[in-house]
Structure 1
Amino acid sequence: MRRLGSVQQKIPCVFLTEVRDEPSRKRECQLFQVVATENLNPIALNADVYSALATEKVDGTCCYVTTYKGEPYLWARLDRKPTKQADKRFKKYQYSQKSTKGFTWNVDEDFRAVPDSWIPAHGVQHQNGQPVPDEHGHIPGWVPVDNENKQYCWHASVVNYEAGEALVLRPHPEDEDLLEIINVPLSELMEQTLELIGTNVNGNPYSLGSKKHLIHLLVPHGVLRIRNAPLVEYQALHSWFQGCHEGRVEGIVWHCNDGTLVKVHRHHLGLKWPNGATVLATRPVVIHVEKSDNDSKDSQKSLFTVLSRFSGQHFNCIQDIQFEA
């Protein structure tokens, strides 16, 4: 069985989209929004989306596990973005043309600097030896998560490089209705992408932890499968998101048999997110985190250590996991 969920670049919408002259529901200060039409994207049709596997789109920040300095390492998403002036020029063109096709970039001058350790994402096109921006004006890429870099402190809290492990949230292998929090060897996650969720990520729609006791976890892409998924049709999806308990998700990502990924976000359909209790926040969970014997980093305040004290315990939902003061 092929591995699911390698998210290296922006995933296209399952529907063709259009730009409307109204404030974005997703991005503040954006005076236009991209919405889905009722026409399926040819990319989805060509990949036979009707026979694809539907999975929950998780609201976090994308991560990647690959080698750094000869060892398995967690990498954070860092898209190389245009300078303020170049972005203003790009947005003006997009607004006037209702498209980004035909816009010309000067990669040397139009884009901000990135760390020397930065690498472009798989699939980024190159021209004259330089990576080419995508249709959103970004160059997708990654930087290694260093324990000393405060910018990635939430990423760092879910990895223990001394023990070579990461904290993962996934369905229990013997009961798909039950979630488990487990420490997984980074070597087993090699070349996978995952979503970092938690207390200080994207407003914490899953109610993980608290301001006093932070919880952050990695969710491998593609593991949260949607059973009895709705038809891949605009009105059916709209009704499912609005009327079903299972529809209380940020969106759906379809994994097609040829490896193509397509998605739909609630915002594509003009729907609010989050909107009440999310499905992920209400699922039961068990903790299986074992403390490592050769762990020099794992202090008493480490998330690994704290969760290990609850190992074997079941909770009605992940938001019920609360640490003692």
Structure 2
Amino acid sequence: MDGSYEACAEAAAWLRARLREAPRVALVCGSGLGALAQELSEPQSFDYAEIPHFPRSTVQGHAGRLVVGRLGSAPCAVLQGRFHLYEGYSPAQVVVPVRALALAGVHTLVLTNAAGSLRPQLGPGHLLVIRDHIDLPGLAGRSPLVGPNDERFGPRFPAMTDAYDPGLRQLALALAPKELRARPGVYVGVGGPSYETPAECRLLRCLGADAVGMSTVSEAAAARHLGLRVLGLSLITNSAPGDEDEDGSEVTAGGAGPEPHPAALTGHEEVLAAAQEGARHLRALLLALAPKLDEPGRSRTRPDAP
């Protein structure tokens, strides 16, 4: 199992031979969000184990299936489960599905995740529409683009200035149900699998991050390398632990005084439950977005692969 062009092209050819209609939009479901596939009409389903070179999903809340059908009017592929560095996969293996689907005809990628809030105004149940990201593994050399560059995927030094498509971001903010209280912000990707300490959360806030998670950034980098449009959506499931002074009261980042300590989730089961609570509103948003997702964007920088 590898992430080479040949491996991804073989996976794409396997899919094209079996699909009634090639997808043009792909949606990656984060923890607890796999029920989004239920919105597809005329679905075809494939276990990851069937698809050549696809890794195996090992995390609770990730079903490990690719479901292809129509989301509204858009031919769409839904990945019920993704892959993470903390599972032991290399960055190149993590992005095999993204690369394979791009070679199969996808031009737009929607990345969803369950994330922890780093800001008091961004509470559980809110939606962060990702404006930008901080890729901590990538900055440390664990990027899917490390190593010899294959020009068939994209250029050696892809720009990440507009990693997340501004037009799709504005549409998502405009169409989001009011229950999601959507706002734009910065997502920081970490390696995991342990949840962050209070000191780590202080650091991430200082870096300018609004939410933290253990996925998404590698997939976004690979997608932009391929020239795909990318929309990133973080469903906030918990508040990260905050600062405490010696008497246990909360201290704000600006030092303005004590605040109640936010509730912090400590288990993956709680994250899954919180994600499922907000998934209904997220499904409504994606159905409203579907027609626009199928419009090829101007940000694509490479010709369609054969």
| Band of TM-score, shorter chain | under 0.3
TM-score (norm 1): 0.23
Q: Which is strand-richer, 1 or 2?
A: 1
TM-score (norm 2): 0.25
Larger Rg: 1
